[in-house]
Amino acid sequence: MFTPHTKEDRDAMLRTIGIDRIEDLFKDLPADHRNPELNLPPALTEIEVLTELQDIAWANDTTRELVSFLGAGAYNHYSPAVVDAILRRGEFFTAYTPYQPEISQGTLQAIFEYQSMIAGLTGMDVCNASHYDGATAVAEAVNMAYHNFRGKRPKVILSPGVHPHYRETVRTYTHDSEVILAGDQGEVAEDAGPEALIPLIDDTTGLVVVAYPDFFGRIHDFTELAEAVHEAGALLSISVNPITLGLLKAPGEFGADIVTGEGQSLGIPLSYGGPYLGLFATRQKYVRKMAGRLAGETIDNRGQRAYVLTLTAREQHIRRDRATSNICTNQGLLALAATVYLSLLGQHGLRQVAELCYHKAHYAADQISGIKGYELWSDQPFFNEFLIRCPRPSQEIYEHLLEHNLIAGYPVGNDYPGFENYLLIAVTEMNTKEDIDWLVAGLEEVSNG
């Protein structure tokens, strides 16, 4: 498949090489292991493979067939037709990292636009061309802070409100290193505000990581925390959901040193968990400490404005074992998706979708907390997601409502012991009032078993 060689081509090529058979090219390989019999299903044609995959996909019930209030780090937003139309241009998706700027200005200028928009949204000075996802972006922030202080400030404080997967990823990354993790091991209560982290900060602390909104959907003002962090000489990293930033203050305004985030909500399909988009932005003074690719503006030898990958001496292909990160391939195409999404929506559209999410979530929260036995966990402001205490274990409620094709949210008991009765509910512009009313009716019906 997909090889254009005719028999004549092949024979002519073998003659030019000076051999009789293709097998002669593999003589350097251990003979007793050559040409294994692979046990794979027989080849299908395009028509057959499409049918097979449609059949497989049919066994899934998606956010299109179900009514879903599932968020917890991945959100069911609308992606305008323009986004995929641009992504499908082969000139974008079949190119690679723009190592040769003369013939890669499309990708490079798009990266520059991406850097500009994410820097603007987050209130930071610079942004890299992407990390793998929201989780690994936090791990890279930890890495960067550790190197920034040359290992002298190994303590990293993780708020328990940071997504559980992100904290687990940081643990995996730092397991064999000198980094000491604190903050999410019961030192502070889940319902405490960011100020509760302040007593944990000491002169070995290099980084404090919080989330905006946090895993429970809450919005905090981090100004006071930022002051305490900076007073102690440490850095503050805020993990964001960028849709939120269409409405709410940029983390830069609170004094963040690093802003990371999961960019999936910017026009990227749910696709069962990936590929998504790791956002990473920081202050100008840390730009040389930041990992990842960067596009910078310059001119070409004809005097035209143009873009090129710059500060590459930070990266693995030059620094090898002294690079701060090993990242090479990133999430280029997803960064393009986010760029097209933000360009199309513009300031009015992003504000509009953020407000829609906000209003719908608040309507849902109002209605649900009006049902007997249900109560909002926190009176802190929230964006489009909130935690509800249920009259029964939330897992039971969830399973019950699933039988009615309703995913009522995310039961958080597995991630937060003691929270077995809590359900995390996300609402986006895709949920209609009718969906919400149905959720409310469902929750009411199952409230007493």
**Cα distances (angstroms) measured from residue 60 to each of 50, 54, 109:** 16, 10, 38
In the complex, the smallest distance separating the C-beta of residue 36 from ligand PLP, rounded to whole angstroms, is: 23
**Cα distances (angstroms) measured from residue 165 to each of 70, 74, 182, 238, 301:** 16, 12, 16, 16, 47
Smaller CB separation from ligand PLP, 78 or 99: 99
- Interaction pattern, residues 376-405, with other proteins; x per rule: CB under 8 A: -----x----------------xx--x---
Q: Is the dihedral of CA 124, 128, 130, 132 positive or negative?
A: negative
- Interaction pattern, residues 144-163, with other proteins; x per rule: CB under 8 A: -------------------x
Establish if 192 lies at the interface with other proteins (CB under 8 A).
Answer: no
Residue 49 touches which of other proteins, ligand PLP, none (Cβ within 5-8 Å per kind) = other proteins
Smaller CB separation from other proteins, 201 or 406: 406
Q: How many Cβ atoms are within 10 Å of 366's Cβ, its own excluded?
A: 12
Q: How many residues bind ligand PLP (CB under 6 A)?
A: 2
The Cα 184–Cα 162 span in angstroms is 9
Token match 């249920």: residue? 390
Smaller CB separation from other proteins, 232 or 396: 396
Closest residue by Cα to residue 220 from 228, 209, 212, 208: 212
Smaller CB separation from ligand PLP, 16 or 329: 329
Smaller CB separation from other proteins, 44 or 192: 44
In the complex, the smallest distance separating the C-beta of residue 107 from other proteins, rounded to whole angstroms, is: 4
Closest residue by Cα to residue 259 from 112, 123, 430: 123
Establish if 321 lies at the interface with ligand PLP (CB under 6 A).
Answer: no
H or E segment to which residue 275 belongs = none
**Cα distances (angstroms) measured from residue 389 to each of 368, 375, 376, 397, 443:** 10, 5, 6, 11, 11
Smaller CB separation from ligand PLP, 172 or 298: 172
Establish if 318 lies at the interface with ligand PLP (CB under 6 A).
Answer: no
Establish if 185 lies at the interface with other proteins (CB under 8 A).
Answer: no
Instruction: Read off the tokens for 27.
Output: 């003589």
**Cα distances (angstroms) measured from residue 330 to each of 138, 290, 404, 414, 443:** 15, 14, 40, 31, 42
Residues 235-254 contacting other proteins, CB under 8 A? 245-250, 253
Which of 20, 195, 202, 355 binds other proteins (CB under 8 A)? It is 355
In the complex, the smallest distance separating the C-beta of residue 337 from other proteins, rounded to whole angstroms, is: 10
Q: How many residues bind other proteins (CB under 8 A)?
A: 204
Establish if 50 lies at the interface with ligand PLP (CB under 6 A).
Answer: no
In the complex, the smallest distance separating the C-beta of residue 97 from ligand PLP, rounded to whole angstroms, is: 8
**Cα distances (angstroms) measured from residue 390 to each of 184, 230, 373, 414:** 24, 39, 6, 15
Establish if 285 lies at the interface with other proteins (CB under 8 A).
Answer: no
- Interaction pattern, residues 25-64, with other proteins; x per rule: CB under 8 A: xxxxxx--xxxxxxxxxxxxxx--xx-xxx-xxxxxxxxx
- Interaction pattern, residues 96-115, with ligand PLP; x per rule: CB under 6 A: --------------------
The Cα 140–Cα 132 span in angstroms is 10
Angle at 273 between CA 270 and CA 274, to 5 degrees: 85
Establish if 88 lies at the interface with other proteins (CB under 8 A).
Answer: yes
The Cα 17–Cα 381 span in angstroms is 71
Q: Distance between the two ends of the chain, CA-based, in angstroms?
A: 57
In the complex, the smallest distance separating the C-beta of residue 250 from ligand PLP, rounded to whole angstroms, is: 31
Residues 322-381 contacting ligand PLP, CB under 6 A? 328-329
Residue 230 touches which of other proteins, ligand PLP, none (Cβ within 5-8 Å per kind) = none
Q: Contact residues for ligand PLP (CB under 6 A)?
A: 328-329
